[in-house]
Amino acid sequence: GSRILVVNALHHNPHQTHLNLEEALAFVERVRPEQAYLLHCSHRMGLHAEVSAELPENVFLAYDGLQLKIE
DSSP state of 58: T
Reported as a single tens digit per residue, the pLDDT across 31-65 is 999 999 999 999 888 999 999 999 999 999 999 99
pLDDT in the model for residue 64 = 93
Q: Which helix (H) or strand (E) holds 21?
A: helix 21-31
Per-residue pLDDT band for 71 (boundaries 50, 70, 90) equals: confident
Identify any residues that bridge with 59 across adjacent strands, giving them in sequence order. Answer: 36
Amino acid in position 12: H
Residue 41 phi/psi, 5-degree rounding, is -85, 135
pTM assigned to the model: 0.91
CA angle 49, 52, 55 (to 5 degrees): 160
